[in-house]
Structure 1
């Protein structure tokens, strides 16, 4: 039997041949390519020739190309279309990958070659990009424990392997809770729900194999249910299920896992000589220190909480007018806020949503990319891992720029949230390699034959993830390690959050926001209301986000808590968390922080990047939303540059200076609450 994962691919653009790949192929491919990679690493480390940039650093860049290709396919499937076999493989692969990474980073012969090059760096005649790669490679080895010896070295390996196991377990527990809960609705319980929510609930029920409409824990379904259902008891039940993910007891409970993860991260930082995991993690970010992060978050927290508390008074009065006594609760906020939005802005989401068709919003994202960067998109019939997946070839002036893969609809096999990844990254070391970029979302799937309608938040998510995709597609560097989104975590959200702004450009909505039934463009009156209401409820949105970011920071800046839930409550009490607002991501389902190290001590990154994106879009507002010169600077200094320079230097090249928090507060409509 042949294994397609171990063959050359003759598909268009060398897309993975998903129609031939079976779950049974992955273990053999993983073990084979990992053995090849280990042999290549040994060859580099034991090379009798004196170290050169080519035989050491560039050789390392390519050492595990085939393993990387296998893993890119596997993790795309494990995240977006999981099953029992893939989950078992993920549990099997995770500790092995951690062990493999430690073997490389703690290989003394290999590190000695890198140290030799580092000592000779001024005499090697390196290009700026090569010098940057040498610096980053050495730094990653040091931060991974290359300088440790003996017991400390062995213990760090154990810690990293255990963290890999726990991160996988956290993710799979969360997916099980999300997949396992749903609430059936009878016809009477549909009363008051707009047709688009009813249609989505019926489609979700059909996906579950039943004949009743259901509410699931997909954000694109549960959020509108909380906005529109007049049944307070059902809202409470749905809200408690949503916020209780990962904390339901039994085998899928994540609370003890979170505690162990925090404890191991603290130990990891101490083994490497840092006072806290936050200090270790933030060293390589733009923020640099926990104090800088805390300062930013608190500057935003105070005006946001002030605005939210003012809003809570208004919403409580509306609730009491409905004859509901007692305090405004978290499951009440969205319902009364939606009523208030309709009253104050005369903006009804049930009227707005037909104008936000998924198909038209995809066209809008593509059209903006064309006007800004000259990119063109042609839908192509390429191998897919699921029937819902769509693929496009991306070109510019006739040149192939990459493949864009989109997987938009929620399903039980997909983890929650939205993300961008690359099945293949841009690089030039192995030839002119163009990327295969994937956007995954969890929009509510419509009933058969009906168009998919988005909320305004969904549409922003589509633009956000496409901004990440542009960062990958426009990348123009030599080395994969610093390609595309391989930048500081608190810089990586700049392109994505900046791209969201083009959804708010009136001419974009004017052209692409057309009614699903009539085809008529959104009336100017409604368009004006959408723009005017862009910062509506921003106190709520900012509080739920910043609270999560502060909890993440405090968890990692100091001694690891024995009881994370008690510590979470203590942190929220200390900052004066409003009673009627919940954290966007409570600890047991805080996948950003506990599924892996990516956003651990780094959830603040969205806010840090927003300081820049608000300032960056002001450059376009000053010159014109589609100004060619400003777009060229954005591409040259941000989107194509990858990690070739420090993030603050890249931003200063684009804008001429670093921004302050003022543009962010203005953009969120919180300036007068400061």
Structure 2
């Protein structure tokens, strides 16, 4: 599953010049502390808004840098926290137009703005006077520490500037900025190339090619085809939410291969949208940029402020799990091949067969039918279940906002008010955009339009969850797979992290990449609790709860197919790290991928989760570059924390554990070092053995 997080840290709203009438920059008005005017969002406003927003923030930054008074936390660091409110509001709209409502017109604007954004960031990070003020405050704080939250903001701010070339000489600064500008354009082009291949490689089926597919899936595919002008046919779009069920249930092996090939060849079709040369150039520029700072490679530079600290530590974790993962794949393939032979299929398991035969093994080995499980997984009921969990753990109440009360950017988007169940205090709003559409990037993600802060008056949270479920035909319930239900809970975990924030300054809402997935991965575990299963997993037709026998089968099969899930993920994570550790001088990306997988003894029966040419986490920006391992790092924490709940008297709803969860792991965000925060919660560091037990892998006895 593709999970991409975007943190839009919208800082404090303040009065702005009456000269500015661009709706994308205006303070948010209306109920709930003000909300984005999504109903007035127009493409033609985007470029002038972002240009003006950058100019306004640069003016604020110059005023801070040239302040005549000696530097203090208040007149420098805190003033920086306050700057840029107009631009941050603009980015809330920009993010929606980029991720949820993209178009060819907007992509042209993205391409134009990307180098301008890079120049803007460089003007701040390379402002010599500004950095001198920051360094003065930072150096003084090492001798006379500030209050804890101010000290943390100061340290994070200084480190960010230092890592981005603030201490370089003028010549190196110029080259550093030029590289960033070039990279920004390459990232945009990479992302647009992937989106092009997702939109343009559609497989159309005839009625005689539907065997094995569910009626709900068939109806959705028919509607998509009709919407695309192919009435009477059935469309399999080139997104994970469409291809996964097709590869799992379709009995048309040749079509499975075609659909599989379309999906895993995104960005790798040898045409003008091919990403291999872009990736090679990105790797070269990243290496050159960090060399200016004295680092040997990009991974060394990037991981210094992460939990792992070094690429060696990250690789040690992945290499510890890899042998057990591929050994489990061998067992899974053996089971699948036996099923194929038993049915007289006369095939050797190939990647486009894995999901199909794994499902057959699931049915035979565990008497568990994924399609039967889906009958109990209605999206509306899962939404209620998530709200129930939030109520039990966080004391939140979710109340639907009447349609028309809050502007939305598409009719499919629904909004809930989030309040404290005891006091009735408004915590914020939760936006849900559940369905796939043309122009919406694939996968699932969470974002915040406004984050919690208190230093200029308390601000509530505007958070959004975004999925790509295939919209059901009118009148039909939306049924999802167990894996999709887990992803739905996962992304809601990010939203709860936003809502529970208890920090004073915007910077403290920023995340440490190999930690930010922990909170969301942990929330996945509540889907399997008896309270959720018995109350919200009801049959779409009868309304009856899931039978105890089926629940037992699901739990017994909890580690089923973990070889596949772990290996496809780890292959991508290891590839990410090795690409950035390698010498990029004459790198052939396609050959490097093949040779690296061969050296790893990658099982031929399954692909990487994200092949390099469409690895958007890593090459459409830098958020997850050399950091995709972070999901596994966070999963060690998740497995360990899960055992803490299992051991608690009240289990997953234990009040004392829930309070510790919020106090130490959710509310502080980045105001505490993540390793220390986890020790406060658990009383010790997390142990990798918990991860191995969780996945059903052998645990080495100490």
TM-score calculated relative to the size of structure 2: 0.94
Let me know the Cα RMSD of the aligned residues: 1.5
The aligned residue for residue 648 of structure 1 is: 675
The aligned residue for residue 238 of structure 1 is: 259
Question: Any unmatched runs of 5+ in structure 1?
Answer: none
User: Does 1:147 find its partner at 2:167?
Assistant: yes
1:634 to 661, 667, 674: 661
Q: Secondary structure at the match of 1:236?
A: helix
The aligned residue for residue 566 of structure 1 is: 591
Q: What CA distance in whole angstroms lies between the structure 1 residues aligned with 2:223 and 2:521?
A: 31
Contact 1:11–1:17 (8 Å) recurs in 2: no
The aligned residue for residue 541 of structure 2 is: 517
Q: What CA distance in whole angstroms lies between the structure 1 residues aligned with 2:418 and 2:677?
A: 26
Alignment of 1:299-318 (within 5 A): 299-318=320-339
Q: What CA distance in whole angstroms lies between the structure 2 residues aligned with 1:440 and 1:209?
A: 26
What do the CA deviations read for 1:32-59 (whole angstroms, capped 9, x no partner)? Answer: 2211111111111111111111110011
- Compute the displacement of 1:525 (Å): 0.8
- Compute the displacement of 1:354 (Å): 1.3
* Structure 1 residues 174 and 488, CA gap change in structure 2 (3 angstroms): same
User: Does 1:416 find its partner at 2:435?
Assistant: no
Alignment of 1:341-356 (within 5 A): 341-356=362-377
Q: Secondary structure at the match of 2:621?
A: coil
Q: Secondary structure at the match of 1:5?
A: coil
User: Does 1:667 find its partner at 2:694?
Assistant: yes
Q: Secondary structure at the match of 1:603?
A: coil
What do the CA deviations read for 1:155-203 (whole angstroms, capped 9, x no partner)? Answer: 1101111111111111111111101111111111012222232123223
User: Does 1:51 find its partner at 2:71?
Assistant: yes
The aligned residue for residue 416 of structure 2 is: 392
Q: What CA distance in whole angstroms lies between the structure 2 residues aligned with 1:10 and 1:507?
A: 39
What do the CA deviations read for 1:436-487 (whole angstroms, capped 9, x no partner)? Answer: 111111111100111111100110011000000011000010111111xx12
2:460 to 405, 429, 434: 434
The aligned residue for residue 469 of structure 1 is: 495
Contact 1:37–1:67 (8 Å) recurs in 2: yes
Q: Secondary structure at the match of 1:223?
A: helix
User: Does 1:17 find its partner at 2:37?
Assistant: yes
The aligned residue for residue 482 of structure 1 is: 508
Aligned residues: 672
Q: What CA distance in whole angstroms lies between the structure 2 residues aligned with 1:217 and 1:532?
A: 33
Q: What CA distance in whole angstroms lies between the structure 1 residues aligned with 2:170 and 2:69?
A: 28
User: Does 1:613 find its partner at 2:638?
Assistant: yes
- Compute the displacement of 1:568 (Å): 1.0
- Compute the displacement of 1:558 (Å): 3.3
Contact 2:568–2:606 (8 Å) recurs in 1: yes
Contact 2:27–2:86 (8 Å) recurs in 1: no
* Structure 1 residues 546 and 122, CA gap change in structure 2 (3 angstroms): closer
1:366 to 376, 380, 387: 387
Q: What CA distance in whole angstroms lies between the structure 1 residues aligned with 2:615 and 2:270?
A: 16
What do the CA deviations read for 1:558-606 (whole angstroms, capped 9, x no partner)? Answer: 3126111111111111111001011000001111111100000010000
* Structure 1 residues 123 and 329, CA gap change in structure 2 (3 angstroms): closer
Q: What CA distance in whole angstroms lies between the structure 2 residues aligned with 1:123 and 1:289?
A: 27
The aligned residue for residue 628 of structure 2 is: 603
Contact 2:41–2:93 (8 Å) recurs in 1: no
Q: Secondary structure at the match of 1:437?
A: strand
Alignment of 1:189-200 (within 5 A): 189-200=209-220
1:32 to 33, 37, 52: 52
- Compute the displacement of 1:123 (Å): 6.3
Q: What CA distance in whole angstroms lies between the structure 2 residues aligned with 1:636 and 1:487?
A: 17
- Compute the displacement of 1:122 (Å): 5.0
TM-score calculated relative to the size of structure 1: 0.98
* Structure 1 residues 672 and 131, CA gap change in structure 2 (3 angstroms): closer
Q: What CA distance in whole angstroms lies between the structure 2 residues aligned with 1:254 and 1:429?
A: 44
- Compute the displacement of 1:426 (Å): 1.2
Question: Any unmatched runs of 5+ in structure 2?
Answer: 1-19
Could you tell which deviates more after superposition, 269-278 or 11-20?
A: 11-20
- Compute the displacement of 1:126 (Å): 2.0
User: Does 1:229 find its partner at 2:256?
Assistant: no
What do the CA deviations read for 1:94-120 (whole angstroms, capped 9, x no partner)? Answer: 111111111111111111111111222
Contact 1:306–1:673 (8 Å) recurs in 2: no
Q: Secondary structure at the match of 1:3?
A: coil
Q: What CA distance in whole angstroms lies between the structure 2 residues aligned with 1:581 and 1:119?
A: 52
The aligned residue for residue 272 of structure 2 is: 251
User: Does 1:496 find its partner at 2:520?
Assistant: yes
2:605 to 577, 580, 583: 580
- Compute the displacement of 1:124 (Å): 5.9
* Structure 1 residues 278 and 123, CA gap change in structure 2 (3 angstroms): closer
2:179 to 155, 159, 166: 159
Q: What CA distance in whole angstroms lies between the structure 1 residues aligned with 2:89 and 2:97?
A: 13
Contact 1:426–1:480 (8 Å) recurs in 2: yes
- Compute the displacement of 1:672 (Å): 6.5
The aligned residue for residue 16 of structure 2 is: none
Q: What CA distance in whole angstroms lies between the structure 2 residues aligned with 1:352 and 1:326?
A: 28
- Compute the displacement of 1:19 (Å): 1.3
Contact 2:119–2:177 (8 Å) recurs in 1: yes
Contact 2:340–2:347 (8 Å) recurs in 1: no
The aligned residue for residue 100 of structure 2 is: 80
The aligned residue for residue 508 of structure 1 is: 532
Q: What CA distance in whole angstroms lies between the structure 1 residues aligned with 2:688 and 2:640?
A: 9
Contact 1:510–1:527 (8 Å) recurs in 2: no
User: Does 1:425 find its partner at 2:448?
Assistant: no
Contact 1:361–1:513 (8 Å) recurs in 2: yes
The aligned residue for residue 179 of structure 1 is: 199
Contact 1:76–1:423 (8 Å) recurs in 2: no
- Compute the displacement of 1:93 (Å): 1.7
Q: What CA distance in whole angstroms lies between the structure 1 residues aligned with 2:236 and 2:565?
A: 23
* Structure 1 residues 528 and 138, CA gap change in structure 2 (3 angstroms): same
The aligned residue for residue 132 of structure 1 is: 152
The aligned residue for residue 539 of structure 1 is: 563
